[in-house]
């Protein structure tokens, strides 16, 4: 089995895990299947009416989480690689790099900022680890072992930041109208804009460093492979 063939099988596993997580999360959210917190935290998502009356609000809030954006992007990118192989073009490479960065940020932020105070119950015992631990681990392993390699330059790295920046702008604009936010570290209602912007800049700087490291590793592997050949 060639690396390209193995890579397609690896990314097929990533795609299945990511799509299962996204579909299950949306369905469970839609039918109001997740346990509700006894007391909603100020400025955070929540408070939708029970049952079908709150369907629209719950779905919009679900699709406003960075976790869902990152898992959906991983699912799309993994499916694209399964379909087309490693030759996915400049924009495809940027999306793959973006998906890798976003799902890694999702895992890191969840592990250090959310998980310590989170109490899982009901369906979240299944979907939270799947989307925050399993899918990130599979995506990172697939990217490290199977690539794709090459095609990274400054323009591709900058393109890879486009979707996270769009999420930040969307979150802050929507939050200004509904006064609710998906995460504590972007909760303007509690922290204020100054602290939230500091948090966002710090995370985006970390993301840029991560992208630069990945690009450097990719360049090093690309130089080593021709030398070995």
DSSP string, 155-173: HHHHHTTHHHHHHHHHHHH
The model's pLDDT over 14-69, given as tens digits with 9 standing for 90+, comes to: 999 999 999 999 999 999 999 876 556 789 998 899 999 999 999 999 999 999 99
pTM score, whole prediction: 0.89
| pLDDT value of position 157 | 81
For 132, the enclosing helix (H) or strand (E) is none
Cα 5 off chain centre by: 26
SS3 4: helix
Contact 161, 206 (CB under 8 A): no
| Sequence-distant contacts of 36-41: CB under 8 A, at least 24 apart | 41/184
User: pLDDT-based confidence at 225, cuts 50/70/90?
Assistant: low
């Amino acid at each position: 089995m060639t690396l390209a063939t193995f890579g397609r099988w690896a990314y097929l596993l990533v795609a299945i895990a990511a799509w299962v997580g996204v579909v299950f999360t949306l369905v469970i959210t839609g039918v109001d299947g997740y346990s509700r917190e006894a007391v909603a935290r100020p400025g955070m998502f929540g408070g939708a009416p029970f049952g079908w009356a709150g369907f629209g609000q719950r779905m919009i809030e679900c699709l406003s989480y960075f976790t869902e954006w990152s898992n959906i992007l991983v699912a799309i990118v993994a499916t694209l690689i399964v379909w087309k192989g490693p030759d996915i073009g400049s924009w495809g490479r940027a999306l793959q790099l973006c998906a890798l960065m976003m799902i890694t940020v999702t895992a890191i932020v969840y592990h250090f900022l959310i998980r310590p105070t989170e109490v899982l119950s009901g369906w979240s015992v299944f979907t939270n680890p799947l989307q925050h631990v399993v899918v990130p681990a599979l995506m990172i392993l697939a990217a490290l072992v199977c690539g794709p390699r090459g095609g990274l330059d400054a323009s591709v790295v900058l393109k890879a930041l486009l979707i996270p920046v769009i999420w930040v702008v969307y979150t802050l604009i929507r939050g200004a109208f509904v006064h609710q936010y998906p995460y504590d570290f972007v909760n303007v209602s509690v922290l204020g804009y100054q602290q939230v912007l500091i948090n966002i800049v710090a995370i985006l700087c970390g993301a840029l460093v991560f992208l630069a490291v990945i690009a450097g590793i990719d360049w090093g592997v690309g130089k080593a492979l021709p030398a070995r050949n």
